[in-house]
Structure 1
């Protein structure tokens, strides 16, 4: 699958700084993904802790802990390696964040849907009707 969906301009995601959230449907449930930059590369994950399925960021887009070296769950303090999503400490040690394919070109960052993480389908009166 080569579909690419625009997340943001490349310069909106700074090294070890604030991430950018985007709407997704994951496993049939509405949620968010996020993209961050670490080591000069963009990485994207489903915004769901591996320990308990809650969003990681403590304020919108705030995924890194204070050193800027790890992603951190604001609720349980689990820390994740930005390049792999592997849990390096906390209650989910050995677990990992669900990666989302991401590409960067033309000064923009795009995410790539897969079999589990799909674009969010807006709720309208038409698609809420039983089939």
Structure 2
């Protein structure tokens, strides 16, 4: 497992970027639960964010791709609007304990996302 940050390091309704072994990923906390995804849009295979730690839309209810406007459900990573509708972000295993937030398995490079 890879330690990402303390639990306080990812507040409710917030997102945050991480890098593990050269792999870019991000986390979002919603309703107390942390969701981790590869920072790679399934539309073009590019990072979702322009600004550091900015992965959510203005309402903080959806993950937003800043490049082409795709919107993804926080809980599943499914694209619900935009050029990759019906596809989804690559989810990563996550564990949270008294020490903080952990990436469960080593981050593997994603070859998908044409």
Name the TM-score class by shorter chain: 0.7 to 0.9
Q: Which has the larger radius of gyration?
A: 1
TM superposition score normalised by structure 2: 0.88
**CA contact 2:62–2:72 (8 Å) conserved in 1:** yes
The separation in 2 between residues aligned to 1:17 and 1:89, in whole angstroms, is 21
RMSD: 1.6
Does 1:68 pair with 2:60? yes
Counterpart of 2:97 (choices 88, 105, 110) is: 105
Q: Which runs of 5+ in 1 are unaligned?
A: 25-29, 119-131
The separation in 1 between residues aligned to 2:51 and 2:100, in whole angstroms, is 24
Indicate the residue corresponding to 2:6 in structure 1. 9
The separation in 2 between residues aligned to 1:36 and 1:21, in whole angstroms, is 11
Q: Which runs of 5+ in 2 are unaligned?
A: 110-114
Extract structure 1 runs of 4+ deviating beyond 6 A.
Answer: none
- How far off its partner does 1:98 sit? 0.2
Does 1:18 pair with 2:15? yes
Counterpart of 2:75 (choices 76, 80, 83) is: 83
TM superposition score normalised by structure 1: 0.77
